[in-house]
Structure 1
Amino acid sequence: MNRKAPLDELSAAVGRIMGLLLTEEKVNDAVLHLAQGIRHAIPGSIGAGVSLFDARGHRTSTGFTDEVVAEADRLQYELGQGPCLTAWAAEVPVVVADVATHERWPEWSAAISALPIRSVLSVPLVAGQQVLGAIKVYADTPNVYDDDDARLLEEFAAPAATLLSHIQGTETVNQISASLQAALYSRDLVNRACGILLARGSGTAEQALSELMTMARTQQKSLVDVCADLVAGTAAGGH
């Protein structure tokens, strides 16, 4: 069975959230769709979740794909510490190579020691000046996630957060911001660039995306700029 490219998985999740916006469904349904998209998009994950918080850090909505995620998150809320809360509060991605040896949240790490969780990746959900919460994935082996995975997840945190902020508020689909449209355009551009590299024999979709991220670091450009250059150059060259 062919596995979808990670960008396609997350694109589908954003599309499902858009559908919820159009039909005015509940926020809980939206965060669940997003969690499911993340779970299938990030290789090695045993579960994913989305948590929304108010300004005081109180949880307002949670979506999770597996019970192990629900339990790990519950312990974060109960203890007031953990990667998801840190990503939300500090507004930065949090990558944990091995929970068993990580010392940043000793109480939480000890509390989840019996759970099949070793690696963690959490990224904040930011819409404009508002930090809505965080998205996270868990794996049962160490060293599963890296900075490339964090950047991939950040690519989709922006449009997802914007959509979630609209569902939470009273705005309609016609009021979706230009920043969301730009984010969705960026997603399509990255997909096109991946397709070009795949056509050139770059292997899998994950390998093509990793190659683009390496190019971005080497050239000191954004991922979107590198993809735009590649697509433009291919169009100009006629192949």
Structure 2
Amino acid sequence: MWIYAGTMAQLPLDELTAVIARIQGLLPTEEKVTTAIRLLARAAKESVPGTIGAGVSLIDGRGRRTSSGYTDTIVSQADTVQYEYGEGPCLTAWASERPALVTDLNVEQRWPRWRNGIAGLPVLAVVSAPLLAGKVSLGALKLYAAAPDTYDHGSAALLQLFAAPAATLISHIQANEAPHRMTAELQASLYTRDLVNRATGVVMERMGLRQEDAVRFLIRQAPEEKTSLQQVSERVVAGTPASGT
């Protein structure tokens, strides 16, 4: 059985099913989200002839929009301009929760700042599909092409087939990793606090300083030694004096 989508080459449904099954089969506890995205992006790129790059836009751990699992640097370059100006086909697909199709950037009127920003890049066609998990839009999957009319509505429909299982997988991975990430960050924070407290006590004893003055001393040492407060404290606790002690 085959899919026919205008300018898009024929793609066996069995092959598409196999790719999706491989992505869905990744266990959240064993595979990172970037691994799944990379598999998906590579398969999506190979499924549409003329595509020069594929990737996914997501929110990273610091709440910033970022490109993940992209197959070629052109994706990161074109995406970065979207994030900088807050406009572009991928951000539109993400926000509207509907596919965004650009058949020819030469005649496209939307996103003027983004279009001007990528004028030097070999990008003339784009198709992007949102990553929807339930009622939540997690990001967008996109394909870039160097020739106009590479993509049509059939391409957008195919991309949605890739996007659906990817969104489900990403949502599960994020849900499973979030508690572990929070626990790790909390443990690191508690470790640093305890370490600084112990280093403060050592400095107070060695230099006869009050607690607040000992803390200020440690804080000053970090930039002077071009290191972190944690590393300064580790050396003090280990018995290696910080500069000036």
TM-score (norm 1): 0.64
Alpha-carbon offset, residue 8 of structure 1: 4.7
> 2:76 maps to what in 1?
70
Secondary structure class of the residue paired with 1:104: coil
Distance in 2 of aligned mates of 1:100 and 1:6: 32
User: Hey, what's the Cα distance between the residues in 2 that align with 1:61 and 1:30?
Assistant: 14
Any residues of structure 2 matched to 1:212-227 within 5 Å, and which? Answer: none
What code does the residue aligned with 2:32 have?
A: K
> How much does 1:156 deviate?
2.6
- Name which of 51, 55, 60 aligns with 1:45: 51
- Indicate the residue corresponding to 1:202 in structure 2: none
Residue in 1 that maps onto 2:142: 136
Q: Which residue matches 1:35?
A: 41
Q: Which amino acid aligns with 2:26?
A: L
Mapped pair 1:170 → 2:176 = yes
The 3-state SS of whatever aligns with 1:113 is coil
Deviations 1:33-64 (A, max 9, x none): 1111110011221111111237x973266120
Runs of 5+ unmatched residues, structure 2: 1-8, 178-245
User: Residue 94 of structure 1 aligns with which residue?
Assistant: 100
Percent identity reads 56
- Measure the CA separation in 2 of the matches of 1:107 and 1:131: 24
* Match in the other structure for 2:218: none
Larger radius of gyration: 2
Which whole-Å CA distance do the structure 1 matches of 2:66 and 2:74 have between them?
20
**Native 8 Å contact 2:45 2:51 kept in 1:** yes
In structure 1, stretches of 5+ residues that fail to align are: 172-239
Counterpart residue type for residue 112 of structure 2:
P
For residues 145 and 7 of structure 1, the distance between their equivalents in structure 2, rounded to whole angstroms, comes to 19
> Which amino acid is 1:71 matched to?
Q
Residue correspondences, number: 168
Q: 1:127–1:165: 8 Å Cα contact kept in structure 2?
A: yes
Shift in CA distance, 118/52, structure 1 to aligned 2, threshold 3 Å:
same
Map 1:47-196 onto structure 2 (within 5 A): 47-53=53-59, 58-59=64-65, 62-170=68-176
The Cα shift of 1:84 comes to: 0.4
Which SS does the other structure have where 2:126 is aligned?
strand
Structure 1 residue 24 and structure 2 residue 10: aligned? Answer: no
Where 1:141 maps in the other structure, the secondary structure is coil
Alignment partner of 1:64: what SS?
coil
Per-residue CA deviation, residues 66-86 of structure 1 (Å, 9 max, x unaligned), is: 111110011111111110000
Contact 2:67 2:76 in 1 (8 A): no
Retained in 2: the 8 A contact 1:51–1:62?
yes
Distance 1:18 1:31 in 2: 11
